[in-house]
Amino acid sequence: MHEQRDRDPGVGEREYRRAALPVDITDGAAEAEAVAFVCATCGVSLTGPLTRLPEVPEAPYYAWWDADEPGPSPATVPSGCYAIETEPYGGPLVVAQEPGPVMPRHGGHFNVEGKPLVSQGPRGNIVINPDDARGLELQHASSACCGATPDGGMNQLCACGTLVATLCSDCCLPYELHLSADHVRAVRP
């Protein structure tokens, strides 16, 4: 409540949230120091301590079509780590001029008319191993055979009811969780 009253009216919401972060996760020096992520709305812990990687790793190869049971691929980010996604990720998806990957670590995606799509979702998401998340609940999922896709945008709710992340867990997609930089804060554990 005091935040709102004491806030500089000339500062935009995104800039205000970034300025309010107790830990600057965009600073390269912070890479070696572990941070935890909490909901920016209620402050509940969403992860344990995580160490920053210099970039999001490539998704490991996984022959999902040969799997005995459907389920998520191996995680893109190792447990205990996080990385910052520099490209747009998640919904909305918009028609592109040329075919290409719809978003990082995903193949091409086309609308019902056969036109290529690309993500215009947010940049700066914090990518973690989904198994490192705490207390999140699936809100909705875009259609998939056995898991959630990022096509519809954020799909993970904090206990307070705030959408805070996008889970990608379908068998034929990279297994990763994207915490929204606008909806979480980094804190020192």
Per-residue model confidence as pLDDT tens digits over 29-62? 455 689 999 999 999 999 999 999 999 999 998 8
The pTM assigned to this predicted structure is 0.82
94 forms beta bridges with 118
Residue range 63-74: mean pLDDT, rounded: 83
Query: d(Cα 184, Cα 165) in Å, to the nearest integer?
Result: 9
- The closest of 37, 46, 142 to 83, measured between CA atoms, is 37
pLDDT band at 19 (very low <50, low <70, confident <90, very high): very low
The pLDDT of residue 23 is: 58
Pairing of strands 81-84, 51-52: parallel
- Whether the CB-CB separation of 122 and 133 falls below 8 Å is answered with no
> In this predicted model, which residue has the larger pLDDT, 137 or 20?
137
Cα 70 off chain centre by? 22
pLDDT above 80 for 9: no
pLDDT digits (tens, 9 = 90+) for 140-172: 767 677 889 999 999 999 999 999 999 999 988
pLDDT above 70 for 76: yes
- Whether the CB-CB separation of 151 and 106 falls below 8 Å is answered with no
Largest CA distance in the chain: 57
pLDDT above 70 for 18: no
- Whether the CB-CB separation of 129 and 138 falls below 8 Å is answered with no
Which two three-digit tokens encode residue 73? 């691929």
